[in-house]
Amino acid sequence: MIRLEHIDKTYNPHTVNEMQLFSDFNLEVKNNEFVSIIGSNGSGKTSLLNIICGSIPIDSGDILINGESINKLVEFKRYKKIGRVYQNPSMGTCANMTILENMSLADNKGKIFDLKWGTDKKRISFYKEQLAQLNLGLEDKLGVKVGLLSGGQRQAMALLMSTITPIDILILDEHTAALDPKTAEIIMELTDKIVKEKNLTTIMVTHNLMYALNYGHRLIMMHEGKAIMDIEGDEKSSVAVDDILDVFNRISIERGN
Amino acid sequence: MKKLLSLMLASAMALSMLTGCGGKAGEADGETDMQVSENVKIGIAQFAPHGSLDNCVEGFKQGLAEAGYVEGKNLEIDFQNAQADMANTNQIAQSMVAENVDLICAVATPMAQAAFNAAEGKIPVIYTAVTDPVAAELANEDGSGTGNATGTSDKLAVEAQLEMIRAFQPDAKKIGILYTTSEANSVSAIEEYKSLAGGYGFEIVDSGISQPADIPMAAADLAAKVDCISNLTDNTVVSSLPVLLDAANKANIPVYGSEIEQVKNGCVATEGLDYIALGKQTGAMAARVLQGEDAKTIPYETISEYSLYINSAALQTLGMNCPDDLKDKATEAE
Amino acid sequence: MALILSVLEQGFIYTILALGVYITYKILDFPDLTVDSSFPLGAAVCAVMIKAGINPYLTLPAAFAAGGIAGLATGMIHVKFKVRDLLSGIITMTMLYSVNLHIAGGQANMPIFSSENIFTLSPFADKLGEYNKVLVIFIIMLICKFLMDLYLKTKSGYLLRAVGDNDTVVTVLAKDKGIVKITGLVIANALVALAGCVMCQDQRFFEISMGTGTIVIGLASVIIGTNVFGKLSFIKTTTSVIIGSVIYKACVAVAIWLGLAAIDMKLITGALFLVILVISNFRKAGAENDQA
């Protein structure tokens, strides 16, 4: 479970560019809940992820994972509990390392990176098994450098790598946005499968309304630092894309564009 | 196995590069005259491009010529300059050893050490412009070589210089010296200045720099504190001599040189070295070795005589005169 | 033959250095100028210890450790004080100059001609004659190469490669990328100082200015090695660094041997450098076009 309490965040305070994004923002995501977040540019959805992960500091408020505050932790320490997949497929993998080496790296998350062999040979069959479920044939290319893979293949690997070890929260940062529609579909299905299998608490930011509606338990629409729509369960399944588009358009008109 | 293979490949490439190319350095310098029975090939390795060191090499060739070894006739010279780059000194020294020259003339301390090391006693090394051959472990306390090497030291005539400064400036108390902390010769020269200055009623104020860019501030600061400046053969400082002279002129104090080139360039006077003469002396020693003497047994030599050089124009600018009793001895540096 | 031996000797010594530069330049993408001072640092430590009569073989680990501390300093300045990479190296390099002089007891030049060294004490000294030196250097270099190959296959080594490749991955693995970078700089400068130590015993004197331009030699070796031979899949990158280093030294030897005007040396070095970079850039562009 993750809880954001009374978050205040103002960009460029005391300058002409001062911009208050969050004022007393609250959000709670329950265990095993899959939340999709949509919203226009500048609505605060990406800032929200960055605030959770610690790459943007907050002015006041608290962030708790399973009741424990992570607010004082620096960015890299928060990732002990968090897995993250980025929009850019090259962000989640190491291009100059092989598939096997990348898998080994991910598998060692949470362990000490000492002078033991980087790849545990006994784990190779497990990696192959994991890669095989991607249905991309990567299990037969263990020695290939990840940089030679396509964007979709890399993103699939990034997804696998971020979930291969136990995590409390999975953060998906528009992770299908840079892919072609067909590949995006494959990655989205894969995401759903992994999330369901592992029962992961997931926050997904997306531009794709269909994905937001079709996947996950709950949908939040962000606008100017506020959650202006927050639906789940039956309400969510009864909502149509057009309904959401209406809200979306209304916001856009209000903003004058 | 792969590694061994790649290693062999590397060696093979190096080899092909070496054998693939023709001509050698010395040949360009002149045809070998077959009428002269005794032909010798020597290497001259200079540490850095530098007026004084150039003079050394010039004098060295003259010295050899006077002893009958004339470049282009019975003498082939492979001349190399390491550009003050230590990585080059080793390679130059080793390439001369590989060429199996009859003798290596090494100019300045690091070059002498590199040549001495590379020659491993097989080829005699004649060094020059090494201030302290004993400290450089090229010579023993008694002057004999630690190995197959001998040469000349360009040790400054500190005592004579102090005496001269006293004659020029009877009331002066403080002598300033600017030096580079990385130059071993300068550090040892300062120590000698300090130990001898008291005997002449002077106090030495030294100022260490680490790079040319430090000179303007250090020079101005030093000039304000002292009655005169005495220059060493410090490579960095000598290269920026105009800056030092400028600072001294502003403070209206004289700068004494340590060799004739510096006086030509604006120092008022020196009781010092003539590097051409030093080179000649070294050339004569080299000739002895070429004729069969064992370099190890020849003690290293310091310059046999120092001479007084003055720059009247520079003296006049400061309203100074050459003391009467030195006038006969002094030579105008020009 | 003697010339080839000298090229190999020099080449192998600078390989040790180039392995270090390979870590900073290629793996970490960190232009580390500390090298120009950590090289003489290793030499200073070596000369002082040998003068004090300590077993020359002990100078090797001592220099390695000293270099590691230099790398640690650069790393801390960069990571903890958030100083730019280039500047951190320059700061340490500048400060080390004085430290090196202090270590050498204020002497800018310290000969060790009359002392035993790793070469005179080598078990092959009597049997191999002129090949002794090159063999000793080769063994030390090879040990460094193999240890580095092994290290890069450990978990810690994986992390080091990952941080240069894509440091986001390291952060997401909940590891402090700063510490990984520092580790890399420590190892790199330790190797560089080790090279300085071997160099000092090879030339048998320490000289404060012996580090000037070392980074250029290191970079040239790495770039020649990885660009010319790195593409061949059957050659390990570390092996290509060895070849690059030997080739670079061979080129300098040829330049000297041909009697190229000494004043042009740096110009030629720079031009050679540029040509290799340009060729490899063209190749890279070509490869990318092929892929597209």
Arithmetic mean of pLDDT, B192-215: 91
Arithmetic mean of pLDDT, C182-208: 95
Torsion angle, CA of C154/C159/C165/C170, rounded to 10 degrees? 160
Alpha-carbon gap, residue C213 to C44, rounded angstroms:
17
SS3 label, residue C232 = coil
Q: B–C: how many Cβ contacts below 8 A?
A: 180
Give how far C161 is from chain A: nearest CA, Å.
8
Q: Which two tokens stand for residue B331?
A: 């030579």
Q: Identify the structural domains of chain A with CATH numbers, from first to last.
A: 2-96+167-255 (3.40.50.300)
Question: Higher-confidence residue: C182 or C233?
Answer: C182
CB distance B135–C113 less than 8 Å? no
For residue A37, the one-letter residue type is I
Q: Which two tokens stand for residue B256?
A: 């004494």
Residue-wise pLDDT tens digits, B71-81 = 999 999 999 98
Q: Which two tokens stand for residue C152?
A: 């890069």
Q: What superfamily would CATH give domain B158-272+307-332?
A: Response regulator (3.40.50.2300)
Q: What superfamily would CATH give domain B38-154+277-302?
A: Response regulator (3.40.50.2300)
Alpha-carbon gap, residue A104 to A119, rounded angstroms:
5
Arithmetic mean of pLDDT, B135-152: 93
Q: Which two tokens stand for residue B11?
A: 């060696």
Arithmetic mean of pLDDT, C3-24: 93
Q: Tell me, letter by letter, the H, E, C secondary structure of chain B.
A: CHHHHHHHHHHHHHHHHHHCCCCCCHHHHCCCCCCCCCCEEEEEEECCCCHHHHHHHHHHHHHHHHCCCCECCCEEEEEEECCCCHHHHHHHHHHHHHHCCCEEEEECHHHHHHHHHHHCCCCCEEEECCCCCCCCCCECCCCCECCCEEEEECCCCHHHHHHHHHHHCCCCCEEEEEEECCCHHHHHHHHHHHHHHHHHCCEEEEEEECCHHHHHHHHHHHHHHCCEEECCCCHHHHHCHHHHHHHHHHCCCCEECCEHHHHHCCCCEEEEECHHHHHHHHHHHHHHHHCCCCHHHCCCEECCCCEEEECHHHHHHCCCCCCHHHHCCCEECC
Average model confidence (pLDDT) across chain B: 85
| Per-residue pLDDT at B87 | 85
CB distance C113–B137 less than 8 Å? yes
Report the range of poorest mean pLDDT among A100-109, B29-38, B223-232: B29-38
Q: How many CB atoms neighbour CB A9 within 10 A?
A: 23
Report the range of poorest mean pLDDT among B93-107, B115-129, C199-213, C244-258: C244-258
C150, C158, C226, best to mutate vs chain A, most A CBs in 10 Å: C158
Residue-wise pLDDT tens digits, C233-271 = 777 889 999 999 999 888 888 877 777 665 676 777 778
* Burial group, residue B48, by CB count within 10 angstroms (0-12, 13-18, 19+): buried
A73, A74, A76, best to mutate vs chain C, most C CBs in 10 Å: A76
| Per-residue pLDDT at B35 | 36
Per-domain boundaries in chain B: 38-154+277-302, 158-272+307-332
Average model confidence (pLDDT) across chain A: 90
Nearest to B98 by CA among C200, C247, C7: C7
Average model confidence (pLDDT) across chain C: 89
| Per-residue pLDDT at C262 | 59
Minimum CA–CA partner of A80 in chain C: C174
* Strand pairing report for A169-173 and B301-302: unpaired
Report the range of poorest mean pLDDT among B115-129, B236-250, C51-65, C171-185: B236-250
Report the range of poorest mean pLDDT among B21-25, C31-35, C103-107: B21-25
pLDDT value at A3 more than 60: yes
- All residues of chain C having their beta carbon less than 8 Å from the beta carbon of residue A94 are 161-162, 165-166, 169
Alpha-carbon gap, residue B234 to B184, rounded angstroms:
9
Question: Higher-confidence residue: C88 or C213?
Answer: C88
| Per-residue pLDDT at B184 | 81
* Strand pairing report for B331-332 and B203-209: unpaired
pLDDT value at B20 more than 70: no
- CB–CB of B91/C252 below 8 Å? yes
| Per-residue pLDDT at A219 | 92
Question: Higher-confidence residue: C272 or C38?
Answer: C38
Residue-wise pLDDT tens digits, A176-216 = 999 999 999 999 999 999 999 999 999 999 988 889 988 98
Alpha-carbon gap, residue B153 to A118, rounded angstroms:
59
Nearest to B105 by CA among B152, B141, B68: B152
Residue-wise pLDDT tens digits, C157-167 = 999 999 989 99
Query: Chains near B, with 3+ CB pairs < 8 A?
Result: C
Residue-wise pLDDT tens digits, B43-66 = 999 998 878 889 999 999 999 999
pLDDT band of residue B26 (cuts 50, 70, 90) is: very low
B19's CB contacts (< 8 A; 6+ apart) are none
Q: Which two tokens stand for residue B320?
A: 């100074």
Nearest to C41 by CA among C67, C60, C75, C71: C67
| Per-residue pLDDT at C288 | 56
| Per-residue pLDDT at C209 | 87
Instruction: Tell me, yes or no, if the two domains B38-154+277-302 and B158-272+307-332 fold the same way.
Output: yes
Arithmetic mean of pLDDT, C164-178: 93
Q: Write b or e for each residue in C140-177: b if 16 or more Cβ atoms lie within 10 A of its Cβ, otherwise e.
A: bbeebbeebbebbbbbbbbbbbbbbbbbbbbbbbbbbb
Sign of the dihedral defined by the CA atoms of residues A235, A238, A244, A247, in that order: negative
Question: Higher-confidence residue: B11 or B94?
Answer: B94
- All residues of chain C having their beta carbon less than 8 Å from the beta carbon of residue B114 are 203, 205
Arithmetic mean of pLDDT, A66-78: 92
| Per-residue pLDDT at C284 | 66
Q: Which two tokens stand for residue A88?
A: 């850019």
C94, C113, C141, C242, best to mutate vs chain B, most B CBs in 10 Å: C113
C185's CB contacts (< 8 A; 6+ apart) are C24, C28, C30, C32, C34, C71, C72, C74, C75, C78
| Per-residue pLDDT at A242 | 82
| Per-residue pLDDT at C289 | 55
B195's CB contacts (< 8 A; 6+ apart) are none
Q: Which two tokens stand for residue A165?
A: 């070890």
Question: Higher-confidence residue: B27 or C246?
Answer: C246
pLDDT value at B114 more than 70: yes
The minimal CB distance from C169 to the residues A75, A92, A113 is found for: A92
State whether residue A118 sits within 8 Å of chain C by CB.
yes
Arithmetic mean of pLDDT, B86-96: 89
| Per-residue pLDDT at B260 | 86
- All residues of chain A having their beta carbon less than 8 Å from the beta carbon of residue C80 are none
pLDDT value at B216 more than 70: yes
pLDDT value at C106 more than 90: no
- All residues of chain C having their beta carbon less than 8 Å from the beta carbon of residue B85 are 212-213, 265
Per-domain boundaries in chain C: 2-211
pTM above 0.95, yes or no: no
Alpha-carbon gap, residue B7 to A249, rounded angstroms:
69
Residue-wise pLDDT tens digits, B270-305 = 988 888 999 999 999 999 999 999 999 999 998 867
ipTM, 2 dp: 0.90
